A and B are shown apart, each in its own frame.
Chain A
Amino acid sequence: MLLRHTKKEVADRKALVINPAKTCQPIGAMYAALGIHGCLPHSHGSQGCCAYHRSTLTRHYKEPISAATSSFTEGASVFGGQANLVQAIDNIFTVYEPEVIAVHTTCLSETIGDDLNQIRTKAQKEGKIPEGKTVIGAPTPSYVGSHVTGFSNMVKAMAQLAEPSGKKSGKVNVIPGWVEPSDMAEIKRLAGLIGVDITLFPDTSGVLDAPLTGEYKMFPDGGVTVSELKKSGDAIGTLALGEWCSADAARWLDSKCKVPCTVLDMPFGLAATDRFIDVLRTVAGVSVPDAVATERGQLVDMISDMHQYFYGKRVAIWGDPDQLISMCEFLVSLDMQPVYVVTGTPGKKFEKRIQEICEGQPFEVKVKAKGDMFLMHQWIKNEPVDLLIGNTYGKYIARDEDIPFLRWGFPILDRQGHQYFPTVGYKGGLRLLEKILTLFLDRKDRDDPERVFELVL
């Protein structure tokens, strides 16, 4: 047993977190910043954070993740990190020549109270920010919220670049939330099929799925440009996908730039994708082509074809709130049973949403925000499940309890595919179902006695 010290008896814990279902803010800000074209993320703190965040993102993507750091020393930690950041900005623009530096903070610089705006102004005054280059900043204290909060804070800083001209561009802003590059590409493809001109931000497609050609581009072709972000203030509206990841930025554009917004669920599964496409065509005033309806019909077809394998299966799922909400809805729509739902990210609204989704279903859901994987594992020990869905850290539970395991979410450190194959939209729904079925049927083939082992399933 790998997790041999995890016992069935659940004791109330108030201070000790064991096996967290979240990590800290700055990594989310770093990921979001990589979705800006020509952007170098910068971590204003001691360099260990930056090394850890880069390593985790690199292990998830098997791609280079560049980011700089202020490299605080003990002196700077006591007297403030202004000199470090101004020097860093100068060095970065001289040596690496990005279009944009997107600065986020850590628990260190937040505790000592460094003011990013004031430091940026100082750098500007000292001529450290070259003409035409941009520095944006988002405070991302690690002791508040989670990596999701950090992502949201940096997306908001991106929205704050908006410079409304007073003339509407006819475009729609779509804030996809923390999804994979493949998912961002899929959202763009769907918008393209429907014929809606969108500005997607952040957009890591084309950045974190770069080809191997013998040439290394520190700033690949992908990413939303600063000019597009500036024009986001002229959009006819903003679709924010995910309350936790995307709503803050959308609401800022709404209140400051008069760009109306609506907050939708992330388009995982049938119903959430339906709502996304229906709202998108309504705000843009276009009709949806048959090609999209065909994709939808294929997903419905697969659900009906394979329903017997999904029906009644108990699932433990953990990850980030926005993703979990849509995914639980999808599972319920398949007549599966998301019985344990855990996120490390705080938010009472999350628990309420999950309860609503599972209401009237023939199972009881245990849901916890600010929970951890130790607790979830204890629940599983008390009453087992048929499937685990979550990030790589679930593999220890999967092996100990011998449960099929779908890797989904962040981070996935031991499998590939997430940056290439989408899990959003109808196509993404098909892929999720294919993966879940493969897990169930492989398990059946492994466990069935010889006499009932079958060719056709």
Chain B
Amino acid sequence: MAKTKKVVQFDAADIKEELLKKYPPKVARKRAKQIMINEAQESETPPEILANVRTIPGIITMRGCTYAGCKGVILGPTRDLVNITHGPIGCGFYSWLTRRNQTEPGPDGDNYMPYCFSTDMQDQDIIFGGEKKLAAAIQEAYDLFHPKGIAIFATCPVGLIGDDVHAVAKKMKAKFGDCNVFGFSCEGYKGVSQSAGHHIANNQVFTHLIGENETPSEGEYKINLLGEYNIGGDGFEIDRIFKKCGITNIATFSGNSSYDQFASAQHADLSAVMCHRSINYVADMLETKYGIPWIKVNFIGAEATAKSLRKIAEYFGDKKLIDKVEAVIAEELVEVKTVIEDVRSRTEGKTAMMFVGGSRAHHYNELFVEMGMKTLSAGYEFGHRDDYEGRDVIPTLKVDADSRNIEEIEVVQDEKLYNPRKTPEEYKALEDAGFKFKHYEGMNPDMDKGSLIIDDLNQYEADKLVEILKPDLFCAGIKEKFSIQKLGIPMKQLHSYDSGGPYAGFKGAVNFYKEIDRLVNSKVWSYMKAPWQENPELTGTFVWE
């Protein structure tokens, strides 16, 4: 049965040393900068972490590539776009239905989510170029489906052989007239991780989609929800709460999204950013071009959800909304409180580790706090320093050689459509009251002093950390899940939710409490040794009944 364990006491410096010991010297020097002991240094300046740098070859990283960040993450969930992968078959195949972005087809019924479209490049395409095949594939997709938009995603060889996906897209768009065709130069080798793909996707979505629909959107308290991908229905739950509060969500980027949502995003009056890493570029561009301010929100955790709703209500400053939000919170918290009281009796004092992409390792800390659990160590696969240390460090960030070629696009105020959502006085009044625009404080402040913050964790370090610290729960992805469980440690996937969810919002919090309770208190962890292994020495003879 489940053992009651105390929070493990350890010296972070010793553990860091242990993790680095086995590495060749060059590797150890680099990893030393990516493993940070939170606020352990005695100096005035907070410690820096090395992040968003190239992966060490052969280290068994958790990271994926730019194509995954662009097609897999940002554009993949848009139901009425035909997403064509221009490359050999693998990239399209592996990103086919493997992220759990749930989708409601909507009244028009367009939904290409269950399909995988590829140009399936062959050796002759590599030798003679694949542009003709790409154009033919776009034509065939158009003839078969007549979608609103066709997006083209470049894979590794495309950049090397010099296929120009943008030129082909432009030509086909002009030819069709009624179908928006655009390309993404998201070759897998660009940048150092999925992160570059987010940036490339943000740029092109902003250039080719946002602002296309000029008809004003109806509704009160209009917002965009940025960086929410509806994994396991998270976005559905958040939308349920918005609807109950009377908040109108114009566009979610990009869980359960549609072409028209993106095209109408400029009509919102506020952008609420969930995943800072993947979508902060669009948030900034929406502000620059259209005057829509953005705030950071977090709908992971019941308290965090309540706080984020209050933040939105305070921004609009309308008593009707403020009262409604309070009423909704009060109503929703009834169930949350009943469940948490029960669950907490079994989760209090347990320990967790979290190594997830670029935002959840921070967001989920809220849920563990609610359950009385402690996060011993956390980190991102591909977060940047601002995701760890907060946006204040952005001016000091240096773009290194590996990321220099990720395009930065120039966005300027739109002469006609720029519209400041509040007067300077109103902004000032909000800020004076402690309201923070365009602000994200990062993961570090929410982590305990002395905890280990580790960027781009690899398999060796994961297994070592678990062996030394024996957490009650380890959270990461599918590639890590089963090696951790072989060690007898419960493992929760925070990318796919292990087919569970939603975990966002109030109902999501309840689901998560119950799931973690089930997992850390499961009987299975007591079955690892057979009776004859527990007492291998024979001490007597068998007594028959």
Chain A residues with CB under 8 Å of chain B are 2-5, 7, 11, 13-20, 22-27, 42, 45-49, 51-56, 58-59, 62-77, 84-85, 87-92, 94-96, 106-108, 111-112, 141-144, 146, 210, 212-218, 344, 374, 393, 396
Contact = CB atoms under 8 A, between A and B. Distances in A.
A24 B92 CA distance: 10
A212 B486 contact: yes
Contacts of A58: 478-479, 481-482
B57 to A, nearest CB: 4
A215 B402 contact: no
A206 to B, nearest CB: 14
Nearest to B59: A91
Contacts of B402: 73-75
Given A46-B156, A51-B64, A69 B486 contact: no
Interface stretch (B83-91, B217-225, B280-288, B384-392): B83-91
17 contacts: A3-B115, A5-B110, A14-B136, A15-B140, A17-B89, A19-B115, A46-B189, A51-B479, A55-B98, A66-B483, A71-B57, A74-B190, A90-B58, A107-B88, A141-B123, A142-B89, A396-B114
Interface string B93-114: 1111110000001000111101
B483 A218 contact: yes
A5 B145 contact: yes
Interface string B247-277: 0000000000000000000000000000000
B92 A108 contact: no
Interface residues of B, number: 92
A68 B58 contact: yes
Given A48-B91, A69-B55, A91-B59, 6 more contacts: A15-B133, A71-B56, A74-B402, A91-B57, A95-B23, A107-B121
Nearest to B140: A16
Nearest to B68: A48
Interface in B180-199: 187-192
Given A15-B134, A15-B140, A94 B89 contact: no
A122 to B, nearest CB: 14
A48 B126 contact: no
A432 B361 CA distance: 44
A356 to B, nearest CB: 27
B203 to A, nearest CB: 17
B411 to A, nearest CB: 25
Contacts of B4: none
Contacts of A46: 65, 156, 188-189
A142 to B, nearest CB: 4
A16 B90 contact: no
Contacts of B89: 17, 20, 22-24, 142, 146, 344
A195 to B, nearest CB: 32
A108 B157 contact: yes
B415 to A, nearest CB: 36
Given A107-B88, A213-B528, A75 B401 contact: yes
B514 to A, nearest CB: 22
A71 B57 CA distance: 5
A17 B119 contact: yes
B57 A87 contact: yes
A25 B123 CA distance: 13
Interface of B: 22-24, 27, 54-68, 84, 87-98, 105, 109-112, 114-123, 125-126, 133-137, 139-141, 143-145, 155-157, 159-161, 187-192, 401-402, 405, 459-460, 463, 477-479, 481-488, 527-529
A79 B120 CA distance: 26
B125 A16 contact: no
B65 A47 contact: yes
A455 B66 CA distance: 57
A24 B88 contact: yes
A310 B286 CA distance: 62
Nearest to B156: A108
Contacts of A85: 57
A48 B57 contact: no
B72 to A, nearest CB: 9
Nearest to B112: A5
Given A14-B140, A58-B478, A71 B54 contact: yes
A379 to B, nearest CB: 16
A12 to B, nearest CB: 9
B134 A18 contact: no
A297 B366 CA distance: 62
Nearest to A85: B57
Contacts of A141: 123
A94 B22 CA distance: 7
B60 A68 contact: yes
A92 to B, nearest CB: 4
A214 B482 CA distance: 12
A52 B483 contact: no
B123 A144 contact: yes
B90 A23 contact: yes
